[in-house]
Chains A and B, each alone.
Chain A
Amino acid sequence: MKDNVSIRGAAHTDRIHDSATKHVTGAADYTDDIVEPVGTLHAYLGVSDVAHATIRSLDLDAVRAAPGVVGVLTAADIPGHNDISPTGQNDEPVFPTDKIQFHGQPLFAVIAETRDAARRAAELVKVDCEVLPHALDPIAAQDAGYPHVTAPLKLERGAVDPAFAKATNRIKGRMEVGGQDHMYLEGHIAFAIPGEDDDVVVHCSTQHPSEAQHMVAHVLGVPSNAVTVNVRRMGGGFGGKESQMNLFCVVAAMAAKKWGRAVKIRPDRDQDMTATGKRHDFVIDYDVAFDDAGRIEAVDGTFAARCGYTSDLSGPVTDRALFHADNAYFYPNVRLVSHPMKTNTVSNTAFRGFGGPQGVIAAERIIEEIAFATGQDPLDVRKANFYGGKGRDLTPYHQAVEDNILDRLVGELEDSADYRARRKAILDFNATSRVLKKGIALTPVKFGISFTATWYNQAGALVHVYNDGSIHLNHGGTEMGQGLNTKVAQVVAEAFQVDISRIKITKTTTEKVPNTSATAASSGTDLNGMAALNAVEQIKARLVDFAAEKWNVAPDAVQFEPNQVHIGDEVLTFDAFIKQAYMARVQLSAAGFYKTPKIHWDRASGKGRPFYYYAYGAACSEVTIDTLTGEYRVDRTDILHDVGRSLNPVLDKGQVEGAFIQGMGWLTTEELWWDDAGRLRTHAPSTYKIPLASDRPREFNVKLADWSENRELTIKRSKAVGEPPFMLGISVFEALSMAVASVADYRNCPRLDAPATPERVLMAVERLKAAG
């Protein structure tokens, strides 16, 4: 029996980010803001200026002699293993010993009294090497006979070759999809403080403290228990700080141990962008068979990726591209193959969506091809191919789609965005407008939630209730702006029925929760929320036992009510109750744990249930292009997105809005451009253009599907939100494609690669005009 008083910060309510006030006052501390101990040194990386070469020698004399320099670290100085491969493939050295494999590859570190001195000294190296030919993109790599960096994946279902043999219609095509830099506003940084024995504490900006801990131990040659990694918050991560922080952590830790002084390393923006990995570029070849109504009969797709010089996370990234090459559509017969190509570029890594977006955009291109070929509204082709019930529910990896809500979700968006009438108006506009042309597209997303590395789907939490009734919450997830700490605190507040202000959210540290997984794959709240809840339930169970015994009531007569506890006829404030429990020697601390049920995956056979559930969404975007210059504007975007039963609707909406803009940036203005020497030339915001406020759709309507509830027993029936809405940006790309197609009366699906910069749009227009 509850009265109408409720706690502040309950689950399923809007709640500001727990650090919002500190953000706006500049009081939120990031790693570079931590007070430095006396004598702190600064490290900087010296890098290669060729893309591929055999190293003869490094002449570091001038570096060592430079003003302020304390010393240098090379591969020879590594006390343990010269390896930071996050997947145990032993293919990624901290510093290379024999070969340079990309332009800008870190070769050594210089340690100096100031960061400025270290930066200047790092430029003084003389590298004696024999330059070798290089391959920068996946096609050049295939042509040069480069290997896969990791084992490719094949997903196959149905009778593919016979289906193509009797195809009603068939289209083959190729699409190139560019990569993307994370452009988190806070770049990489690590700050190591040496301790006694083998100990070292590393403050850094990583999404994966446990991996950083293990890597530091591995490289130093000490047990993991000597290394502590702390993360209070990141200034953005987006996947770029999942494995890429390892390098900076090990360099800072090595230097700190070697010189016995605190050491900080912070690359400048240019080095951050050239020396750390990005989203994988893909070249996608597709072959589709379909009937006259536009229903897909078979799909054959090959996904070649620019992985860079090592595997890093390219295996699971390219796997996830295949897992999402169906997007929302049932392929009766399907074969999908990945080619994770080694290239002489920085090793690509995780980025929001983790390969999924590159798979989804392939599916959407296939749909567009069919729509142009059959002369239909692409939305009708999409709907005709959505996963259906029995017989049309199996994915290429043999998991049944059981929770599909796209029919309702897309239908609602189609109505609320007035899609049909606007499409008609746009066709009319294009018929008479000479220079400006419009396009509209409504695209769905279905995104699988869980790490495909099944063992990653576990989490821990540590909850203390102090005897004054205040609560200390710690979990293995990291805060990078997504509001994870706020949402987990809401779960704890709800479970204890106390105001959220009572809960202190603390930094993530490997000392409190061990063996954590990366805060990635959108799983932060799903995993850590459950682990925290498990810890709270343990404490609550002890409290209920205590109360039932002391007050001599049945356990169900003990009720946690807003900021108080009801025991039989008696009511105590939460504080008073906790004080009594403490005096009665009840353990008020618990370590919680969670592992995701139901999932399993057999990569060799390409079968299993890699995903616990799917998150869904759809976006409708309208654009105008200038056919003289290729410039464009996004006139309007409407979004309806599924986050299950939201733990915090306003934070989830923020994730949806931000992910959409980031996805739009990936497909429009964000272009990675390498010169012939293999040097990345778009390596800072002056040359690499992420969206600005003025790039937002002129009208932007974002709604959560508030009727949705996770069918699975996730934390409070919510769904993951970090990555899925990123792919809503594809609606902008397909709308641009329609506007381009208008110049040839929609007879052809434009050959438009991503990112669709003004240049690519204009050239696609010109190609269609030239083809008549």
Chain B
Amino acid sequence: MTYRSHIHFLLNGQPVTVADVAADQTLLDFLRLNRRLTGTKEGCAEGDCGACTVLVGRLADDGLTYEPVNACIRFLASLDGCHVVTIEHVSGPDGRLHPVQQAMVDHHGSQCGFCTPGFVMSLYALWMETPEPTETQVETALQGNLCRCTGYAPIIRAAVAVSRYGTPSADHLNTEREAVIAQLRDLQDGQRVVTGPADNQAILPADVDDLAEVLADHPKATIVAGATDVGLWVTKFLRPIGPAVFIGHLTGMKTVRRDGDALIIGATATYTECQDAIAEIFPHLTPYWDRIAGWQVRNMGTVGGNIANGSPIGDTPPVLIALGAEVTLRHGSDRRTMALQDFFIDYGKQDRKPGEFVESIRVPCPAPGQRDAAYKISKRRDEDISSVAVGISVTLTDNVITGARIAFGGMAATPKRAAAAEAALLGQAWGEAAFDAAAAALPQDFQPLTDWRASSEYRMLSAQNLLRRFFLDHDDAARAPVQLATA
């Protein structure tokens, strides 16, 4: 079949064509080293500080969406067909400061200034989406941006004041929107892209069927969806990833839809793209979802990648296992579906054959009488990896516990159900004693390890206490809140 050997995209409104793009070429290095756009900074090269934040505009069903992402772990190849906007393109063509920039200046939102371009980009995206944000919305938008100087107060003041400086409708990204959409549509030629040196190839399949074909030919290829983990293999560990098959652009696997009594999440749907459906069907997951990484990572990372990656500390597996999720894998035109909990075999080992890929996840909607919770404990509240995470689903029939699904992350080599704790609950009357018994049974399920995130002792104790929290949270007799306010 024919394929394209270069990528093309828009950079700050200008068309760019790059041939021979290696799989592990990052957007940040391309911007700084190849284009000398040095306003975008490297702070950590792992997607945690936000100094490299840029906007990526991409075509979706509902038009053109601009999202803040981390350029440090974003691979250049994945930008094919997108519009990349850097800090150098924020001021208008007349050179006047953008409303976000002027608000930052007037509110003294910069001190050393190194993190500032990243903050401006995140706040730019927020302002386009939510021109008059609450402080909580600002904080959520800035979970992926670290500032070591200001203590954030002046940045928050600037963020809530931006709307006084201008309206998004007058912004050049909006006034030029139709033209950019037309340009990006022109770039969509439906071709597979194969680029880069032979030992470091980047492959962008044309569609999902083409992906199946590519993987059949390259069964050992690295599959890259959001790159929020694979990016670190490159930037931190200097690991070769070629050939890499990029799938983040495959709209055919981005579908998030309700199918009867379940939610179907396509493997390349980002956390952000799932957010509305999660809020509607699984409202208990909304505060949990907001604590997955930072905004930039939620705009890149996918639920499918979080599962396929197999990490014992991924955020979504425990809560999805508790909800009874299933995962569908595809190889060529063959598909198989399994309970999500069975996908995780051991540390670093999943039930995925070479050439096979995660296609979708099916999450059953809560049944009547089902009580659900999702809890995450981390050293820092936001943008941190969990010490312990848990999804709990308990079904009550006439005040007797007739169903219990409890899955923990951070407690074992894989995301894993707490069989003994579940057994302790089944058949018991709803009450504190049942949950104390479940907590007492938990050491039969887990012997967690000690590391820099938490000690074994703390992991076990807090995991037991999360079962107690679940009871207090859901007990009708409870009067006082038992959890810290989310906002």
Known A270-B236, A654-B154: A685·B112 in contact at CB below 8 Å: no
A70 within 8 A of B: no
Please determine whether B48 and A684 come into contact, CB atoms closer than 8 angstroms.
yes
A661 within 8 A of B: yes
CA distance A651 to B111 in the complex (A): 9
CA distance A110 to B152 in the complex (A): 39
Known A16-B105, A30-B114, A693-B139: A758·B377 in contact at CB below 8 Å: yes
CA distance A233 to B111 in the complex (A): 11
Most chain-B CB neighbours within 10 Å: which of A16, A28, A35? A28
**Residues of chain B within 8 A of A19, CB atoms compared:** 110, 113
Please determine whether A21 and B97 come into contact, CB atoms closer than 8 angstroms.
yes
Please determine whether A185 and B142 come into contact, CB atoms closer than 8 angstroms.
no
B466 within 8 A of A: yes
CA distance A326 to B457 in the complex (A): 36
B413 within 8 A of A: no
Please determine whether B44 and A186 come into contact, CB atoms closer than 8 angstroms.
no
A548 within 8 A of B: no
**Residues of chain B within 8 A of A630, CB atoms compared:** 458, 462
Known A628-B466, A763-B458: A669·B45 in contact at CB below 8 Å: no
CA distance A691 to B156 in the complex (A): 14
Rounded to whole Å, the gap between the CB of B282 and the closest CB of chain A is 22
Q: State which residues 464-481 of B face A: CB under 8 Å.
A: 465-466, 468-469, 472, 480-481
Please determine whether B148 and A184 come into contact, CB atoms closer than 8 angstroms.
yes
Please determine whether A120 and B143 come into contact, CB atoms closer than 8 angstroms.
no
CA distance A110 to B322 in the complex (A): 51
B238 within 8 A of A: yes
A196 within 8 A of B: no
Please determine whether B146 and A20 come into contact, CB atoms closer than 8 angstroms.
no
B384 within 8 A of A: yes
Please determine whether A693 and B156 come into contact, CB atoms closer than 8 angstroms.
yes
B49 within 8 A of A: yes
CA distance A390 to B120 in the complex (A): 54
Please determine whether A481 and B113 come into contact, CB atoms closer than 8 angstroms.
yes
Contact of A686 among B40, B46, B142, B387 (CB under 8 A): B46
Contact of A436 among B86, B140, B481 (CB under 8 A): B481
Please determine whether B105 and A24 come into contact, CB atoms closer than 8 angstroms.
yes
Please determine whether B113 and A28 come into contact, CB atoms closer than 8 angstroms.
yes
Known A16-B105, A269-B43, A435-B469: A24·B86 in contact at CB below 8 Å: no
CA distance A84 to B116 in the complex (A): 33
A236 within 8 A of B: yes
Q: State which residues 142-159 of B face A: CB under 8 Å.
A: 142-143, 145-156
**Residues of chain B within 8 A of A684, CB atoms compared:** 44, 46, 48, 236
**Residues of chain B within 8 A of A480, CB atoms compared:** 112
Please determine whether B46 and A693 come into contact, CB atoms closer than 8 angstroms.
no
A483 within 8 A of B: yes
A615-652 vs B, Cβ < 8 Å mask (1 yes, 0 no): 00000000010101111110000000000000000110
Number of interface residues of B (CB under 8 A): 85
CA distance A184 to B112 in the complex (A): 9
**Residues of chain B within 8 A of A687, CB atoms compared:** 452-453
Please determine whether B49 and A26 come into contact, CB atoms closer than 8 angstroms.
no
Rounded to whole Å, the gap between the CB of B171 and the closest CB of chain A is 16
Contact of A658 among B40, B42, B150 (CB under 8 A): B150
Q: State which residues 1-42 of A face B: CB under 8 Å.
A: 16-17, 19-30, 32-33, 35
B182 within 8 A of A: no
**Residues of chain A within 8 A of B41, CB atoms compared:** 30, 185-186, 235
Please determine whether B146 and A185 come into contact, CB atoms closer than 8 angstroms.
yes
B104 within 8 A of A: yes
Known A269-B43, A685-B46, A696-B152: A185·B385 in contact at CB below 8 Å: no
Rounded to whole Å, the gap between the CB of B424 and the closest CB of chain A is 18
Known A16-B108, A482-B111, A626-B484: A657·B151 in contact at CB below 8 Å: yes
Rounded to whole Å, the gap between the CB of B162 and the closest CB of chain A is 12
A762 within 8 A of B: yes
**Residues of chain A within 8 A of B149, CB atoms compared:** 236, 481, 654, 658
A633 closest partner in B (C-beta) = B484
Known A693-B139, A694-B139, A702-B153: A185·B45 in contact at CB below 8 Å: no
Rounded to whole Å, the gap between the CB of A638 and the closest CB of chain B is 13
**Residues of chain B within 8 A of A763, CB atoms compared:** 457-458
A709 within 8 A of B: no
A612 within 8 A of B: no
B172 within 8 A of A: no
Rounded to whole Å, the gap between the CB of B120 and the closest CB of chain A is 6
Known A24-B105, A435-B482: A662·B151 in contact at CB below 8 Å: yes
A172-193 vs B, Cβ < 8 Å mask (1 yes, 0 no): 0000000000111111000000
- Flag the segment in B87-95, B187-195, B260-268, B359-367 that touches A: B87-95
Q: State which residues 238-273 of B face A: CB under 8 Å.
A: 238
Contact of A629 among B42, B113, B139, B377 (CB under 8 A): B377
CA distance A353 to B212 in the complex (A): 59
**Residues of chain B within 8 A of A16, CB atoms compared:** 105-106, 108
**DSSP majority for the A interface?**
loop
CA distance A628 to B382 in the complex (A): 19
A682 within 8 A of B: yes
**Residues of chain A within 8 A of B485, CB atoms compared:** 633
CA distance A686 to B228 in the complex (A): 12
B383 within 8 A of A: yes
B27 within 8 A of A: no
B325 within 8 A of A: no
Rounded to whole Å, the gap between the CB of A128 and the closest CB of chain B is 23
**Residues of chain B within 8 A of A584, CB atoms compared:** none
A238 within 8 A of B: yes
B380 within 8 A of A: yes
A455 within 8 A of B: no
Please determine whether A693 and B143 come into contact, CB atoms closer than 8 angstroms.
yes
B138 within 8 A of A: yes
**Residues of chain B within 8 A of A686, CB atoms compared:** 44, 46, 48, 385
A759 within 8 A of B: yes
A283 within 8 A of B: no
B38 within 8 A of A: yes
Rounded to whole Å, the gap between the CB of A243 and the closest CB of chain B is 19
**Residues of chain A within 8 A of B382, CB atoms compared:** 692, 694-695
Please determine whether B147 and A185 come into contact, CB atoms closer than 8 angstroms.
yes
B102-131 vs A, Cβ < 8 Å mask (1 yes, 0 no): 001110111111111100100000000000
**Residues of chain A within 8 A of B108, CB atoms compared:** 16-17, 20, 650-651, 654
Contact of A661 among B117, B152, B380 (CB under 8 A): B152
Please determine whether B379 and A269 come into contact, CB atoms closer than 8 angstroms.
no
CA distance A61 to B472 in the complex (A): 64
A234 within 8 A of B: yes
Contact of A25 among B87, B106, B454 (CB under 8 A): B87
Please determine whether B112 and A234 come into contact, CB atoms closer than 8 angstroms.
yes
Rounded to whole Å, the gap between the CB of A29 and the closest CB of chain B is 7
CA distance A691 to B38 in the complex (A): 26
Please determine whether B86 and A26 come into contact, CB atoms closer than 8 angstroms.
yes
**Residues of chain A within 8 A of B101, CB atoms compared:** 21, 24-25
CA distance A35 to B32 in the complex (A): 11
**Residues of chain B within 8 A of A259, CB atoms compared:** none
**Residues of chain A within 8 A of B387, CB atoms compared:** 758-759
Contact of B110 among A20, A269, A626, A681 (CB under 8 A): A20
CA distance A562 to B399 in the complex (A): 81
**Residues of chain A within 8 A of B112, CB atoms compared:** 184-186, 233-237, 480-481
A-B contact pairs, 22 of them (CB 8 A): A23-B113, A26-B117, A182-B148, A184-B148, A185-B41, A236-B149, A237-B112, A434-B480, A624-B484, A628-B462, A628-B466, A628-B469, A631-B484, A669-B379, A684-B44, A684-B46, A684-B48, A684-B236, A693-B152, A693-B155, A758-B462, A759-B379
7 A-B pairs closest in CB distance: A26-B39, A235-B114, A481-B112, A23-B113, A661-B151, A481-B111, A26-B87
Q: Which residues of B contact A (CB under 8 A)?
A: 32, 36, 38-46, 48-49, 51, 86-88, 90-91, 97, 100-101, 104-106, 108-117, 120, 138-140, 142-143, 145-156, 235-236, 238, 377, 379-385, 387, 451-455, 457-458, 461-462, 465-466, 468-469, 472, 480-485
